[in-house]
């Protein structure tokens, strides 16, 4: 009977395989797709706390924010590109470049944006919306669920999406007219009364340079509603939102 012998190169081949697999994973993360976790309720009902997303990093071309640690070795985007109105994008807010935010693009360079009695106006025209009923918003972990109105909003260009409105009062619902500067975007959360966005120019978001955009959020690949402590593993199968798996983001 022939006896099997160990080849000296077997371990080396194994190490090479692990090394190449690591390079491929780093390359995909750096140049193609990046996972992103939703930690807050600013994009409810489109995105829920506990959603895990895939961000497309090459859709708009690359900026230095596309790369780990955002090395400042070039400016602008290459090749040139940028979001369309209605895209849901991940970006670095100008007021806090260490954080990733996710919002919807509402205003493009040169647009005027205003909120009047809770209604969105773009370039002086009221954006149409239709009442879709009542929504129980439980995204605030520090309080009980809040009842809000669910609306279907249609932006100029045809993008239709859901928004939540709790009130039509306060500064966020009655703003001055904003004129989006060249090269910048105006961002808003779909949870209109629970979102720190471009309406607050003295906050971390303000006007967002197109260069700061990492990419559009394309797909929810996993979602979990953590209502119980992490160690209570027997609840895990019941907390997974199976209906949101592989759900396209609109």
User: Whole-angstrom Cα distance, residue 239 to residue 227?
Assistant: 7
Residue at token pair 């140049």: 31
Instruction: Give the residue among 169, 128, 120, 126 at the shortest CA–CA distance from 152.
Output: 128
- The set of residues, in sequence order, having a beta carbon less than 8 Å from that of 106 and lying 6+ positions away, is 85, 113, 120, 122, 155, 186, 187, 188, 198
The sign of the CA dihedral 206, 208, 212, 217 is positive
Which residues are paired to 182 by β-bridges? none
- Secondary structure class of 233 (helix, strand, coil): helix
Instruction: Give the residue among 73, 66, 78 at the shortest CA–CA distance from 27.
Output: 66
What local confidence, expressed as pLDDT, does residue 75 receive? 77
User: Whole-angstrom Cα distance, residue 125 to residue 112?
Assistant: 10
Report the predicted TM-score, pTM, of the whole model to 2 decimal places.
0.84
> Mind giving me the DSSP string for 59-102?
TT-B-GGGSTT---S--S-BS---PPTT-EEEE--TT-TTS-EE
| CATH architecture for segment(s) 10-248 | Ribbon (2.10)
User: Whole-angstrom Cα distance, residue 45 to residue 68?
Assistant: 30
**Residue 57 annotated in active site:** no
Q: What secondary structure letter does DSSP report for 191?
A: B
**Residue 42 annotated in active site:** yes
> Mind giving me the DSSP string for 110-122?
T-EEEEETTEEEE
CB atoms within 10 A of CB 216: 22
The pLDDT tens digits along the chain (250 residues) read 445 444 556 667 656 556 545 555 455 555 566 899 999 999 999 999 999 999 999 899 888 888 776 667 777 787 878 899 999 999 999 999 989 999 999 999 999 999 999 999 999 999 999 999 999 988 776 678 889 999 999 999 999 999 999 999 999 999 999 999 999 999 999 999 999 999 999 999 999 999 999 999 999 999 999 777 778 878 888 899 999 999 999 8
Instruction: Give the residue among 56, 123, 126 at the shortest CA–CA distance from 88.
Output: 56
What local confidence, expressed as pLDDT, does residue 2 receive? 45
Catalytic residue among 40, 103, 165, 198: 103
User: Whole-angstrom Cα distance, residue 101 to residue 95?
Assistant: 11
């Amino acid at each position: 009977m022939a006896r099997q012998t160990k080849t000296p190169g077997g371990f080396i081949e194994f190490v090479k395989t692990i090394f190449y697999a690591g390079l491929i994973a780093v390359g995909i993360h750096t140049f193609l797709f990046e996972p992103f976790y939703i930690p807050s309720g600013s994009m409810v009902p489109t995105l829920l706390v506990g959603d895990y997303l895939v961000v497309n990093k090459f859709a708009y071309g690359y900026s230095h924010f596309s790369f780990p640690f955002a090395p400042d070795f070039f400016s602008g985007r290459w090749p040139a590109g940028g979001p369309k109105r209605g895209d849901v994008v991940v970006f670095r807010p100008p007021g806090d470049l260490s954080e990733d935010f996710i919002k919807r693009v509402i205003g493009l360079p040169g647009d005027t944006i205003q909120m009047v009695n809770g209604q969105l106006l773009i370039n002086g025209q009221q954006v149409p919306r239709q009442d879709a009923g009542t929504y129980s918003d439980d995204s605030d972990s520090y309080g009980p669920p809040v009842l809000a109105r669910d609306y279907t909003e249609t932006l100029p260009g045809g993008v239709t999406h859901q928004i939540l409105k709790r009130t039509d009062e306060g500064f966020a619902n009655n703003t001055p007219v904003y004129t989006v500067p060249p090269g910048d975007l105006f961002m808003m959360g779909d949870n209109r009364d629970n979102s720190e966005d471009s309406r607050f120019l003295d906050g971390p978001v303000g006007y967002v340079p197109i260069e700061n955009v990492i990419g559009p959020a394309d797909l929810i690949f996993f979602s979990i509603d953590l209502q119980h402590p992490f160690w209570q593993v027997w609840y895990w199968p019941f907390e997974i939102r199976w209906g949101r798996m592989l759900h396209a983001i609109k």
